[in-house]
Amino acid sequence: MNLTENARKILEKRYLVKKEGIPIEKPEDMFRRVAKFVADIETSFDPKLSKSKLKKIEDKFFSLMTEFDFMPNSPTLMNAGRDLGQLSACFVLPIEDSMEGIFTAVKDAALIHKSGGGTGFSFSRIRPKNNPVKSTGGVASGPVSFMKVFNSATEAIKQGGTRRGANMGILSVDHPDILEFISCKQNNNDLTNFNISVGITKEFMEAIENDDYYDLKFNGTVYDRYKAKNVFDLIVEKAWSNGEPGIVFLDRLNADNPTPELGEIEATNPCGEQPLLGYEACNLGSINLENIHDNGTINWDKLEDIVVWSMRFLDNVIEANKFPLEKIQEMVQGNRKVGLGVMGWANLLFKLQIPYNSQEAIDLAEKVMGFINTKAHAASASLAEERGSFPNINQSIYKGSLMRNATSTTIAPTGTISMIAGTSSGIEPAFSIAYTKNVLDGANLVEVNPVFEAYVKANYSPEESKVIIEKAAKAGSVEDIAELPESIRKVFVTALEIEPEWHIKMQGAFQKYCDNAVSKTVNFPNEATKEDVKTVYMLAYKLGCKGVTVYRTGSREEEVLIKGNKGRCEPAVKIEKLYPRPRPKRTVGVTEQVSTGCGRMYITVNYDQEGLIETFITTGSSGGCSGFTEGVSRLISLALRANISPEAIIDQLTSVSCPTFLRRKANNNSLIGKSCPDIIGRILTQESEFVKDNKDVKTIVNSTVSELSAASEKLASIYETLTEDELILLGVCPDCKEKLTFAEGCLKCNCGFSKCG
């Protein structure tokens, strides 16, 4: 198999069968295990199926996965053909307004997390804080307090180390405790196992548009009236601050509810793309759109074939699944919901040389997803002819027709499975065209988008290609690489270079032809305003999206989006200002003790491979202008790191005189200087000349590599003492200790780790 090194590492760590911690199957064995297990279920539909036909179906499923045309969700890859046998990723559990109902949901969630799934909840049925409790004579503690109970239970499970527990918490905007809920994650240490979203109603949106008030109510009782605009502004403010809460349009979820007679949809799975009834689960899988590219066009026949076989695969998974609860099995097999989605969208656009932020891309998105949705429904109808419609069809919008599955399409996050397939994630744009990954031995590994790398190598010489790729890795984008034509720079655009409106237009285009919902993050540059977030929310409502997740880069303390190789976030707009380079982790230098008119002064001058980089200046115990010298020291360091010539700095310093400066003679009877700045300038001159004349400066600096390695090992040992949540709050991956990124509504890492499982 043509697996990347990263894909092999992910499979070995999380997916392959192990014995005493060592994989005992190869990636090909895993895919064969899954293909055979899912294909064998065909005999339950057709007991007379011949062995040769069954083997052909198995081989087709195997080739779909090993050629990376289609991937099922992670639990299917992990558990198919194994004792656990739980193959679904997403579940929704109901929570009733009683102590028994709440803790039944906690118990059920624990069983789901243990089996490798994630759970979504609506807390809207729990009575408001301070509401009377008749059975005890006390008062209720409210939805947010019970969310903390669910959070603690999830923390205790951790899904056996293969998939982390994740939850979605939703509260309707008209619940009396909505203000507490909106602010419940303003501290990133709180509710770490929850994503939260406000359930937005049609009445609330109308109140915003009319600048009006709306009712806060529970069980038919109105508790208060709030100005809708004020509540909306609070949602925007908190989302602008750290990405939480998201919003979900409840009326829109229920407008597309295929089984309205079975109940109202109140919640989604953890990443928001799968609206479900209580005790429902959904089996997901994704088509790799990069693989339908065929010499500058789309191979529609191949896409149709992938859709037909993927739908058959997913329907088989429902039958083969060992669900953690009997109630879930009844609901799932009654509605047989599947969610066929896509990945590799950004890479497909790269190959077609279509900018993500263009109307051409939006039009193509509608065409591709419209085609997939139509063919998926046709495939479901065809399966119904073979196997019968889903049992609850008479309580659905499909009453009187043939349909095997109540839903067919979902755009889910594909963080790990897209890494296995070696393609871009979901419908997200590329976050970075290239980046440099630091490894423990001090070496640097450049990771490059394969489509970009192929383009560069096909159009430039090896020497030119190396320069272009190095520039892309340093910046994280190709926006300012003059060697590339402007038209190509527009094609290989990254997430933070795309205006937020185009993010939401793309989400709306895919949502238009999707049964369920779309997992997508709208990325904002750091300088984005709250008004920008508000504009995107309103546009999402206008374009028919079912929910929105936003992230303003740098808005969390841990800074989870890192661009380029310098460990700092770059704004999406070009700023015509000069900024200092980051201070290196290790420098080399000398400290000089000199006498001044105010006592002793100690001047440290440090340098790295590029020359002088900083000064530290302190005065002796006899006093002196300590604040002044510290300020001068900081400004000199800033100027040196901003690549200001040392000679220019020295010229300014040595021209300063101090009227109270006592001239003192050095050992050789020469004057030390005429002021503290003058002395500093002279010391800088001395060290600048040393650096210029000494050919071994780089050797001197690099001689500390072994010490750096020891420091890295010490840092690694410190990381080992931190909990998973503490590392995540630092923006560090608990598995590989690299920086985390924020996409598809969740924190994730290039190694395959995802906070949301």
> Which of the following is catalytic: 79, 193, 195, 269?
269
Alpha carbon distances (Å) from 628 to 107, 277, 380, 660, 674: 63, 67, 77, 15, 16
Record the tokens describing residue 469, joined without a space.
Answer: 């790729």
Q: What is the pLDDT of residues 90-146, one digit of tens each?
A: 899 999 999 999 999 999 999 999 888 899 999 999 999 999 887 777 888 999 999
Name the band, by pLDDT with cuts 50, 70 and 90, for residue 694. low
Q: How many CB atoms sit inside 10 A of residue 303's CB?
A: 19
At residue 307 the predicted structure's pLDDT band, cuts being 50, 70 and 90, is very high
**Is the confidence at residue 651, as pLDDT, over 60?**
yes
Catalytic: 269? Answer: yes
pLDDT at 57 over 80: yes
pLDDT of 563 reads 43
Dist. CA 240–CA 537, nearest whole Å: 12
Per the listing, tokens 């800088």 go with 684
Give the alpha-carbon dihedral of 226, 229, 235, 239, to 10 degrees: -170
Helix axes 300-320, 326-335, angle to 10 degrees: 150
Bridge partners, 132 (sequence order):
139
pLDDT at 562 over 80: no
Q: pLDDT per residue over 507-542, tens digit each?
A: 999 999 999 999 999 999 989 999 999 999 999 999
Residue 671 reports pLDDT greater than 50: no
| Count of other CB atoms within 10 angstroms of residue 35 | 23
Type of residue at 302: K
Q: SS in 3 state form for 73-85?
A: CHHHHHHCCCCCC
Given this model, what pLDDT does residue 158 score?
A: 65
Residue 667 has pLDDT above 50, yes or no: no
Mean pLDDT, rounded, for 552-556: 81
Instruction: State yes or no: pLDDT of 341 exceeds 50.
Output: yes
- Nearest CA to 204 among 181, 178, 173, 180? 173
pLDDT, mean of residues 473-498: 94
- Of 58, 184, 257, 271, the active-site residue reads 271
Q: Which residues pair with 550 in a beta bridge?
A: 522
pLDDT at residue 668, rounded to an integer: 44
Q: Predicted confidence band at 599 (pLDDT cuts at 50, 70, 90)?
A: confident
CATH architecture of the domain covering 5-86+276-421: Alpha-Beta Barrel (3.20)
| Region 570-594 average pLDDT | 62
CA distance 343 to 69: 10
Structure tokens at 248: 């979900």
Q: Which residues pair with 749 in a beta bridge?
A: none
Position 62 scores a pLDDT of 98
Q: Which residue has the higher pLDDT, 477 or 579?
A: 477
**Domain ranges across the chain:** 5-86+276-421, 90-268, 434-493, 588-691
Mean pLDDT of 156-179: 82
Q: Which of 6, 2, 65, 1 is nearest to 33 (CA)?
A: 65
Give yes or no for a contact between 476 and 435, defined as CB atoms under 8 angstroms apart: yes
For residues 550 and 524, the answer to whether their CB atoms sit within 8 Å is yes
pLDDT at 664 > cutoff 70? no
What is the pLDDT at residue 440? 42
Sequence length of the chain is: 757
Predicted confidence band of residue 570 (pLDDT cuts 50, 70, 90): very low
The pLDDT score that the predictor gives to residue 490 is 97
Cβ of 593: how many Cβ atoms within 10 Å? 9
Provide the pLDDT for residue 585: 66
Take residue 134 and report the two structure tokens written for it: 């008749």
Q: What share of residues in the chain are helix, strand, coil (percent, to 5)?
A: 45, 20, 40
Question: Which residue type occupies 317?
Answer: V
Q: Over pLDDT 70: what percentage of the chain? A: 88
Do the bridges between strand 167-172 and strand 194-200 make them parallel or antiparallel, or are there none, so unpaired? parallel
Choose the catalytic residue: 58, 273, 428, 497. Answer: 273
Mean pLDDT of 298-326: 97
444 is known as an active-site residue? no
One-letter amino acid of 647: E
Q: How far is Cα 182 from Cα 734, in angstroms, rounded to an integer?
A: 28
Q: Please give the radius of gyration of the chain, using alpha carbons only, rounded to the nearest integer.
A: 30
- What residues are paired with 104 via a beta bridge? none
List the one residue out of 150, 135, 72, 63 whose CA is nearest residue 104.
150
Q: 286 pLDDT band (50/70/90 cuts)?
A: very high
Q: Please check the confidence at residue 161 and state whether its pLDDT lies above 80.
A: no
Q: Alpha-carbon distance 289 to 371, whole Å?
A: 12
Q: According to the model, what pLDDT value does residue 616 have?
A: 84
Q: How many Cβ atoms from other residues are within 10 Å of residue 4's Cβ?
A: 14
Q: Is the pLDDT of residue 560 over 50?
A: no
Helix (H) or strand (E) holding 208: helix 202-209
Give pTM, 2 decimals: 0.78
- What single DSSP character describes residue 11? I
- What is the 8-class DSSP label of residue 429? P
Contact 509, 496 (CB under 8 A): no
Residue 418, SS3? Answer: helix
Burial code of 132-170, b = ≥16 C-beta within 10 A, e = fewer? eeeeeeeebbbbbebbeebbebbeebebeebbbbbbbbb
The answer to whether the CB of 520 falls within 8 A of the CB of 502 is no
* Catalytic (active site) residue 273: yes
Give the model's pLDDT for residue 224.
95
Which 3 state secondary structure label does DSSP give 689?
A: helix
Give the span between the Cα atoms of 127 and 115, in whole angstroms: 30
Residue 478 has pLDDT above 70, yes or no: yes
Q: What is the mean pLDDT of residues 633-656?
A: 82
Task: Say which residue, 151 or 443, is predicted with more confidence.
Answer: 151
383-435 residue pLDDT tens: 999 999 999 999 999 999 999 999 999 999 998 999 999 999 999 999 899 87
Cβ neighbours of residue 259 under 8 Å, at least 6 residues apart? Answer: 277, 335, 392, 395, 396, 397, 406
- Residue 589 to residue 325: CA distance in whole angstroms: 66
Q: Is 531 left (phi over 0), alpha (psi -120 to 50) or beta?
A: alpha
CA dihedral 305, 311, 313, 318 (to 10 degrees): 180
Residue 666 has pLDDT above 80, yes or no: no
CB 705 within 8 A of CB 442: yes
Give strand pairing partners of 593. 602
pLDDT of residue 52: 97
Whether residue 603 contacts residue 591, with contact meaning beta carbons closer than 8 Å, is answered with: yes
Cα dihedral: 499, 505, 511, 517 (round 10) = 30
Task: Name the class of domain 90-268.
Answer: alpha beta
| DSSP structure string for 703-738 | TTHHHHHHHHHHHHHHHHHS-HHHHHHTTB-TTT-P
Q: Which two tokens stand for residue 163?
A: 């998939």
Question: In the 8-state DSSP scheme, what is residue 14?
Answer: I
Q: What distance in Å separates the CA atoms of residue 568 and residue 574, rounded to the nearest whole number?
A: 15
Please list the residues that pair with 249 across neighbouring strands.
Answer: 200
Reported as a single tens digit per residue, the pLDDT across 20-55 is: 989 999 999 999 999 999 999 999 999 999 999 999
Rounded to the nearest integer, the mean pLDDT of the chain is: 87
- Whether 546 has a pLDDT exceeding 90, the answer reads yes
The answer on pLDDT for 554 being more than 90 is: no
- Residue 144: name the closest of 104, 105, 175 by CA: 175
- Of the chain, the percentage scoring pLDDT greater than 90 comes to 63
Task: Tell me: pLDDT of 249 over 90.
Answer: yes
Q: Nearest 10 degrees: CA dihedral of 726, 727, 729, 731? A: 170
**3-state DSSP assignment of residue 41:** coil
Give residue 575's pLDDT: 34
pLDDT exceeds 70 at position 743: yes
Q: How confident is the model at residue 756 (pLDDT cuts 50, 70, 90)?
A: confident
